[in-house]
Amino acid sequence: MDKLAVLTIGQSPRVDAIPDIKDALGSEIQIVEFGILDRFSEEEAIESLYPSDGDRVLVSRLKSGRGIKMAEKKVHELVQETLTYIEEDGIDKILLLCTGKFPNYKYNGLLIMPYEITHGVVKILAKGKKIGIIVPNEEQVESSIKLWKETGMEVVAKSASPYEEELEKLENIANQFKDEDVLFIVLDCMGYSKDMKKIVQERSGKPVILSRTLIVRILKELF
């Protein structure tokens, strides 16, 4: 049976995300989960990775379901350490469970990083028109606009966490997009679920791209 390592920048298991991924990939692919924070307690992780002023922020999920906000530069170091461990374990395909922009890591197998795929597909579909973006944390809004601009996209960005029971906030954000002149909306985090996509579609009246399922459907072509 083919194996796929799924690497979260939080803690595993990702019970919120893996069922959607399994549904899309099918039963013939074995998923093995890893988390860069698995060796930390929750409090150790929160304390040691908390961002300072000026740090670019990444957001993920702890084993308990609690969200965690982290300094991007600290995350990069732990990602490389975990990739090395996975490679030594003999798995040659890895999905990084984050849509953030990451550097080129040392890894000899196939490393799927959603940032490049999502930005590439969205740019092709948008054809120069404005799109909407929803990210987990308000502190990510400014940097997300900048990153999409680097891709050549004009975006309207808003925030609502998939991890902090902010469904009411997500509904309100989706309602705000009703009056925005955007072609479609991207849920720009692997933490957003199919149920959250449905909420945003129904409330906004706009088409919605769910990063999680977009990436996995493309990934399936590699097996």
* Residue 184 binned pLDDT confidence (cut-offs 50, 70, 90): very high
* Same-domain status, 109 and 120: no
Considering the domain architecture, whether residues 145 and 178 belong to the same structural domain is answered as yes
Domain shared by 103 and 141, yes or no = no
Q: Answer yes or no: is pLDDT of 211 > 90.
A: yes
Same domain for 153 and 182?
Answer: yes
Q: In this structure, are 136 and 105 located in the same domain?
A: no
Where is average pLDDT lowest: 21-30, 96-105, 153-162, 205-214? 21-30
Q: Are residues 15 and 70 located together in one domain of the fold?
A: yes
Confidence tier at 153 by pLDDT (50, 70, 90) = very high
Tell me which residue range forms the domain holding 132. 116-211
Q: What is the mean pLDDT of residues 81-98?
A: 93
**Tell me, what CATH number does 94's domain have?**
3.40.50
* Same-domain check for residues 128 and 198: yes
Residue 106 CA, chain-centre distance (Å), reads 21
Please write the tens of the pLDDT for every residue from 59-89.
Answer: 999 999 999 999 999 999 999 999 999 999 8
Return the pLDDT at 162: 93
Whether the pLDDT of residue 1 is over 90: the answer is no
Domain check: are 58 and 120 in the same one? no
* pLDDT computed for residue 66 by the predictor: 92
Q: How many domains does the chain have?
A: 2
What percentage of the chain reaches a pLDDT higher than 90?
84
Assess whether 97 and 177 both reside in one domain.
no
96 and 7 within one domain? yes
Alpha carbon distances (Å) from 124 to 75, 98, 120, 128, 171: 30, 21, 6, 8, 28
CATH number at residue 190: 3.40.50.1860
Please state, rounded to an integer, the average pLDDT across all residues of the chain: 94
Claim to verify: residue 40 and residue 96 sit in the same structural domain: yes
Is residue 26 pLDDT above 90, yes or no? no
Question: Are 133 and 144 in contact, with CB atoms under 8 Å apart?
Answer: yes
